[in-house]
Amino acid sequence: MARKDSGEKKPRLDKGSMQKLKGIFRFMAPYKGSFTLGLISLFFSSTVLLAFPYLTGSLIDTAQGQSKIPWLSDLTHVGLALMGVLLVQSIFSFARVYFFAVVNENAMADLRRELYRKFMSLPMSFYDKNRSGELFSRITADVAVLQDTFSTTLAELIRQVATLVLGVAILFATNPKLTLFMILTFPLLIVVAIVFGKFIRKLSKGTQDALAKANIVVEETLQSIGTVKTFANEDYEVKRYSSTLDKVVGIALKSATFKGAFISFIIFVLFGGIVGVLWYGSYLVSQGSITVGDLTSFVLYTMFIGGSIGGLGDIYGAIQKAVGATERVQEILEAESEHEINKEEIPRLEGNITLKDVRFAYPTRSELEVLKGVNLEINKGEKVALVGKSGGGKSTIAHLLQRFYEINSGDLIIDGKSAKDFNLIGYRKHVGVVPQEVLLFGGTIAENIAYGNPEASQQEIVEAAKKANALEFIESFPEGFETLVGERGVKLSGGQRQRIAIARAILKDPAILILDEATSALDIESEKQVQEALETLMEGRTSLIIAHRLSTIRNADKIAVLEEGTVKEIGKHDELIADSDGSYAKLIQLQEF
Ligand code: ADP
């Protein structure tokens, strides 16, 4: 199956991806007001801090009686001015964090809502193509990356650029010569940052990939721990995991070596620049062309600027990561929905079903035509058993009846109208399913039954449970309907889960019913209870039963035998069995359904 592993794609900061990043900005649009306040606070909190080196220099000059500005001629004044700068900076920093959080938290919650809404509306074919674990990570990990980007990275980017530009401007204004001297180190820093940065990112990705592989080993092994034990392969698994970890360590150490070299180089160049400034600056001080205070503020500005350059390197990496996350999120948002989530009601369906020359191949396996012209007519209220070899397309017909997939050619006609013309959600409300393997959600029994109709009253839930022969076992639990089921709740037996599913279907009250009989036999008592409940459920509804039991088949109004992608035979049990060479007779003989 062709999988689109966009996670592997290397994000690039080209025009298209910036366009996509913009697509995420639209989620911030409703919070423009807070965003503007955040930007203003950010501007002040960053720029006010630039007065800090200047005032520190003034403090030293004032102490030496060399103050150049009259109102800073007193040490207390300079001290107070410094405290004032810090205070204003703190207030604006607080405001910046708060306002950006308002924008970010709301925008990201909106994005998650939209993604989830999209997940609900995507067709089954989408879920055939994509692994659920990977989809899950889009709404969790990818959105978390974006959250980081918009809360810190963006603010940091603006802050660092402002510091850099304003810092250099201030330096030029105070002493152009010294500034040029310092700026000489920039090209070296930038070139090294770009070259090394690229290399290090590649190695980090290698580490992450190796770690992901190691994690997959754990995940898969834990999922099939029983098999590991059966084959007594514990040691083999430990070795397998251990060797994947060795690879992680190998790549991580290589990456760390380069990172270490990179960091020490940057520190060397930065501090080399500062030493140079100190050295040349001290010379200027000795010549009397600048004061000690000037030199101090100069060195402090240089440190600020150096910090900004270092910070910008990190930001580049973070933005690249954000573009990757954006692409993955956008891919979901742009995927085609099977419907808009609107719940146009279809008040009633009679339940007359006609499949007319239905041809169908799954979108993920277009070369395999599963249905090759199926014709089948089921009248309102009839019970039709669908039989045929495993893999013959019985479940596929059930999928098409629920309109999980588009039919390639032919038509599904319900009450004389093509099902395509019905609103999808409205239509599905009239189709109920009791599946082979019933999945219960984590929650109470009552909640699980009410899944059939979330608006049902407690009394209706109890009533449905009663009709589904489930009341007795539910009441045998100390907590009754409030008993927790699902992964961390009480484990229900197969027969009990089926009766919950039947109660669900009763609450849903559909005109059309699809029953997928369990292949594994229940114990006789459960079987009887489930059978009775199913009879109650089927009353007055059109039922299509994917049948595995002879008793069900015998009781059906019609039996349709599916073979080679078509309905080969149709009729009652006695009629079909009469033809001893027929497909049905052979199926029954071999018990192959
Ligand atoms: P049955 O219910 O009669 O056992 P199915 O309808 O499940 O048969 O399967 C019919 C064929 O369609 C099989 O070859 C099966 O592998 C294929 N198939 C079933 N579901 C899918 C799917 N979601 N994607 C691709 N192929 C599928």
Output the CA 388–ligand 1 centroid distance in Å. Answer: 13
Cα–Cα distance for residue pair 91/82, rounded to 1 Å? 14
Read off the DSSP letter of residue 492: P
Closest C-alpha to ligand 1, atom 24:
362
In short, whether 370's Cβ falls inside 6 Å of ligand 1 is: yes
H or E stretch at 370: strand 369-378
In short, whether 548's Cβ falls inside 6 Å of ligand 1 is: no
- Ligand 1 atom closest to the Cα of residue 546 is 2
In short, whether 565's Cβ falls inside 6 Å of ligand 1 is: no
Cα–Cα distance for residue pair 257/550, rounded to 1 Å? 70
In short, whether 90's Cβ falls inside 6 Å of ligand 1 is: no
In short, whether 519's Cβ falls inside 6 Å of ligand 1 is: no
Closest C-alpha to ligand 1, atom 23:
128
pLDDT per residue of the chain (593 residues) written in tens, 0 to 9: 333 344 444 455 566 666 777 778 889 899 999 999 999 999 898 888 888 888 888 888 888 887 777 777 788 888 898 999 999 999 999 999 999 999 999 999 999 999 999 999 999 999 998 877 778 888 888 888 888 887 788 888 888 898 889 889 988 888 888 888 778 777 877 788 778 777 877 887 788 788 878 888 888 888 889 999 999 999 999 999 999 999 999 998 998 898 888 888 888 887 888 888 889 899 999 998 889 998 998 888 888 888 888 788 778 778 877 888 888 898 899 999 987 656 667 888 999 999 999 999 999 999 999 999 999 999 999 999 999 988 999 999 999 999 999 999 999 999 999 998 888 888 999 999 999 888 888 899 999 999 999 999 999 999 999 999 999 999 999 999 999 997 666 788 888 999 999 999 999 999 999 999 877 777 777 888 888 999 999 999 999 999 888 888 888 999 999 999 999 999 998 888 888 888 888 888 887 66
Cα–Cα distance for residue pair 99/41, rounded to 1 Å? 9
Rg (CA), the chain: 35
Closest C-alpha to ligand 1, atom 15:
391
Residue 567 structure tokens: 């309905």
Residues 6 or more apart whose Cβ sits within 8 Å of residue 576: 559, 561, 569, 582, 584, 585
Cα–Cα distance for residue pair 424/306, rounded to 1 Å? 60
- Count of CB atoms situated within 10 Å of the CB of 34: 19
Residues 6 or more apart whose Cβ sits within 8 Å of residue 69: 58
Tell me what ipTM this predicted complex has. Answer: 0.98
In short, whether 121's Cβ falls inside 6 Å of ligand 1 is: no
Residue 411 structure tokens: 């038509």
Cα–Cα distance for residue pair 499/480, rounded to 1 Å? 15
Cα–Cα distance for residue pair 305/294, rounded to 1 Å? 16
- Ligand 1 atom closest to the Cα of residue 399 is 6
Burial class (CB in 10 A: 0-12, 13-18, 19+), 349: buried
Closest C-alpha to ligand 1, atom 14:
391
In short, whether 362's Cβ falls inside 6 Å of ligand 1 is: yes
Cα–Cα distance for residue pair 579/575, rounded to 1 Å? 8
Q: Select from 3, 366, 370 the residue to mutate for testing ligand 1; criterion: most ligand atoms less than 8 Å from CB.
A: 370
- Complete DSSP assignment for 398-454: HHHHTTSS--SEEEEEETTEEGGGS-HHHHHTTEEEE-SS----SEEHHHHHHTT-T
Beta bridge partners of 444: 484
Closest C-alpha to ligand 1, atom 5:
393
In short, whether 495's Cβ falls inside 6 Å of ligand 1 is: no
Closest C-alpha to ligand 1, atom 13:
391
In short, whether 386's Cβ falls inside 6 Å of ligand 1 is: no
Q: Kindly give the pairing relationship between strand 566-571 and strand 512-516.
A: unpaired
Output the CA 373–ligand 1 centroid distance in Å. Answer: 16
